[in-house]
Amino acid sequence: MATDRLYLLDDQCVHATTTVTAVASGMFATTASPFFVGGGGQPADIGWVSDAEPITAISVDDTNTVWHHSNQLVQVGQTIQLVVDSAHRVIVSRYHTVLHILNTLALQDYRAWLTGAAITPTYGRIDVAIAQLDTAMIDDLQTKMNAVIAANHAVRSYTISADEFDQRPELLRTINVKPPVYDGYIRVVEIVGFDAQACGGTHVRTTVDIGPCEIYKTENKGKHNKRLYVRFVPS
C-alpha cells in the first residue's frame, strides 16, 4: 500500500502519529510518513521512532510504500510516532532552496542547464552545462543569489497534472532527468515572484530563512560541465 508522504504537503512536517501497515526484516511501513525519502541530490531524512530508536535509512519500493529501516520492534496495526531530526531537515532545506535560486540564475543569465546536484549538512553543490565559468561570472551569480535571498520571497508548493507539466517547459531544469510523478501529478516548488520548478524535496518557508551564502569553490567536471559549491556565510 502506498505511503502518504506528508512532507509533500508541508515541508516543515517533522512528526506524525501513524499506523504500521507492514513489517519486514529490519524495517517497517506505515500509512503515512513525514520522512523525506531522498532524491534529486537531497539525502533522506534521519530521525527516530518515538524519540528513541533511530531510523537508520529510508527506502521506497515499486508500490510507493515507504520503508523505515530500524531495530524498533513493531507490529502491523500498531500506532507509533515517527520523528524527523528537525535540525538536519532545516539545514538540508536551506541548501535545497538556495540551489533552486542558483540553478535558475545559471539558466536564465548564462543558459546553463542543471546536470546534477548534491546536498549535505555542510554544503550544497550543482553541476551546470557551461563551457566557461570565470571569476566575474561567479561573482555575478553570488551577488544575484544573495539579492534573491534577502528579498524575502515566500516559498510554496503545489501539484499539477503530468499533462499540464508537459505544456510548461519552464518548470524543467534538467534536460535528461524527468521529475517524479505521484499518482499522475508532479509537485512544483515556487519561489514567489522569482521562479517555479518541478521538485519533490523540502524547502524553507521564505528565502530569508536561507541566510547569506557564498560560492566558495568551483571545479571543472568536463568540457561543458562545471561544478559550483555553496555554503552558508558564518555569522
* 8 Å CB contact between 28 and 76: no
197 backbone dihedrals φ, ψ, rounded to 5°: -155, 155
**Final residue before a domain boundary, out of 64, 84, 104:** 84
Q: Per-residue DSSP letters for 140-209?
A: HHHHHHHHHHHTT-BEEEEEEEHHHHHT-GGG--BSS-PPP-BTTEEEEEEETTTEEEE--S---SBGGG
Q: In what order do the strands lie in the sheet with 114-119?
A: 114-119, 124-128, 226-232, 213-220
β-strand 47-49 against 79-84: which pairing, if any?
antiparallel
Residues 125 and 184 in one domain: yes
Domain boundary among 84, 119, 143: 84
Q: What is the mean pLDDT of each run of 10 residues along the chain (235 residues)?
A: 90 96 96 95 95 92 94 95 97 97 96 95 96 95 98 96 91 81 89 95 97 97 94 89
Are 50 and 86 contacting, i.e. CB atoms less than 8 angstroms apart?
Answer: no
Number of domains observed in the structure of the chain: 2
pLDDT for the residue numbered 114: 94
Q: What is the C-alpha end-to-end distance of the chain, expressed in Å?
A: 46
Claim to verify: residue 213 and residue 115 sit in the same structural domain: yes
Evaluate whether 179 touches 162 at the Cβ level (below 8 Å): no
Q: Which residues span the domain enclosing 170?
A: 88-232
Are 194 and 176 in a shared domain? yes
Whether the CA torsion 62, 64, 69, 71 is positive or negative: it is: negative
| In a shared domain, residues 73 and 134 | no
CATH number, domain containing residue 125: 3.30.980.10
* Statement to judge: residues 71 and 113 lie in one domain: no
pLDDT at residue number 227: 97
Residue 36's nearest CA partner among 58, 16, 56 is 58
> Looking only at Cα atoms, what is the longest distance across the chain?
59
Residue 128: predicted pLDDT: 96
Instruction: Note the pLDDT of residue 40.
Output: 87
Q: Are residues 129 and 34 in the same domain?
A: no
Strands 155-161 and 185-191, bridge-based pairing: antiparallel
Same domain, 76 and 162: no
End of a domain among 28, 51, 84? Answer: 84
CATH of the domain at 25: 2.40.30.130
Say if residue 132 is in the same domain as residue 153: yes
Locate 172 and state its grid cell: 524543467
Residues 61 and 31 in one domain: yes
What's the pLDDT score for residue 104?
96
Residues 95 and 19 occupy one common structural domain = no
For residue 176, the model assigns a pLDDT of 75
What's the CA gap between 65 and 37, in Å, rounded? Answer: 10
Are 79 and 118 members of one domain?
Answer: no
Asked if residue 105 and residue 51 are part of one domain, the reply reads: no
